[in-house]
Amino acid sequence: MNTIIDYLDNLFATLPKTKQLEDIRADMLANMEDKYNELKKLGKSENEAIGIVISEFGNIDELLNELDIQLDQKEAHFPLLLEEEIEDFLKTSKKTSMLTGLGVTLCMLGAALLILFFQLPNFSELAATTIGVTTLLVLVAIAVGLFIYGGMLKDKYKFIDEKGEFSLSFNTRKLLEDKKNAYQSTYALSVIFGVILCILSPVSLFIAMAISEEAVTYGVVALLCIIAIAINIFIYYGGIKDSYNRLLKLEEYSERQKEEDKVVGAVAAIVWPLAVCIFLISGLVYHQWHINWIIFPITGLLFGMFSAAYHILKTKETK
């Protein structure tokens, strides 16, 4: 009987995941099970019973034509993911998200320390610049190492991450959807907490301004550290949600969205390095460390607006 269930799972693996087809699958399984038990009572061997059941119920071409459902022939040739592969992918994705979040935190911590060194007493401008930039470069180098290592961990899953060349059995997809729905509350709480941290982060700056003008720099450092924590939360918990979306081919991993991501990713590859260059030049050349931190939130806001606007425009084009 397990053979029949596996066959049915593979048969429905590449079909649209709708309530209607779930009900049809359940009805087919019940009918196939009744027929199998009937054949066994008539003295048929297990292999004979399975062969007869599959020959009578296993062809659903007429059903697809009747419901006007187009089978994705491209996906039909993709291999089915095993449960062991899926679990390993989820664990690897979680670890990669942790490494990425830590790397981003180190980069922001380096920027915060660079600002802090200029405020510390008994530090000449040359010493603060030398120590601060050196610390920043060391932390960025460690962060890049973490990014590379995380990428190497997921290198064996390029067929999932980049190409999407896989398919899921009916039961596996259902299990993943249940896990994703169960995780949704955790993800929502993480987003709420991260947003709260971002909103409250300027409080440290206001407190520092109330204390003295000299304390403003410490307020900026605290603000950057709080934002770093928030970003770490977004990356880690968002990465877990992202891994479910990749496996289920939802949201940004649908075919249409992949095309949009290529454009957005190309823009991001230019915008963010440019923002870092402006940050360093404004600080090292024009000594604007007390205010140039605002470059990053402004860049993030503008880039978010661009991504949202581009998504809306492409959505209208496809309608």
Higher pLDDT, 15 or 282: 282
Global pTM? 0.61
Q: Is 160 exposed, middle or buried (0-12, 13-18, 19+ CB in 10 A)?
A: buried
Confidence category of residue 185, pLDDT binned at 50, 70, 90:
very high
Cross-strand bridge partners of residue 80: 167
Q: Is 162:194 a contact under the CB 8 Å cutoff?
A: no
Q: What is the DSSP letter of 156?
A: G
DSSP string of 224-279, one letter each residue: HHHHHHHHHHHHHHHHHHHHHHHHHT-GGGSHHHHHHHHHHHHHHHHHHHHHHHHH
Q: Is 287:114 a contact under the CB 8 Å cutoff?
A: no
Task: Give the distance from CA 214 to its chain's centroid.
Answer: 41
Mean pLDDT of 81-107: 87
Mean pLDDT of 287-295: 71
Average pLDDT value over all residues in the chain: 76
Question: Other CB atoms closer than 10 Å to residue 292's CB: what's the count?
Answer: 19
In the numeric block, the tokens 């007429």 are attached to 62
Mean pLDDT of 101-111: 86
Q: What is the DSSP letter of 72?
A: -
Of all residues in the chain, the percent with pLDDT exceeding 70 is 72
Q: Determine the pLDDT at residue 202.
A: 84
Cross-strand bridge partners of residue 167: 80
DSSP string of 276-306, one letter each residue: HHHHHHHHHTT--TTTGGGHHHHHHHHHHHH
pLDDT higher than threshold 80 for residue 66: no
Please enumerate in sequence order all residues whose Cβ is within 8 A of that of 247, keeping only pairs 6 or more positions apart, or say none. Answer: 81, 86, 89, 90, 160, 168, 176
pLDDT higher than threshold 80 for residue 239: yes
Query: Using alpha carbons only, what angle is made at residue 217 by residues 193 and 224, rounded to the nearest 5 degrees?
Result: 25
CA distances from residue 141 to 13, 104, 105, 148, 260 in whole angstroms, order as listed? 44, 11, 13, 11, 30
Q: Determine the pLDDT at residue 73.
A: 47
Range in 5-9, 59-63, 158-162, 257-261 with the lowest mean pLDDT: 257-261
pLDDT higher than threshold 90 for residue 189: yes
Query: At 80, is the secondary structure helix, strand, or coil?
Result: strand
Question: Other CB atoms closer than 10 Å to residue 164's CB: what's the count?
Answer: 18
Question: Other CB atoms closer than 10 Å to residue 247's CB: what's the count?
Answer: 25
Give me the helices (H) in the chain, please: 2-12, 19-41, 46-57, 61-67, 73-76, 83-117, 125-153, 158-161, 170-200, 202-211, 216-248, 255-284, 295-318
Question: In 3D, which of 27, 29, 12 has the Cα closest to residue 72?
Answer: 12
Mean pLDDT of 237-243: 87
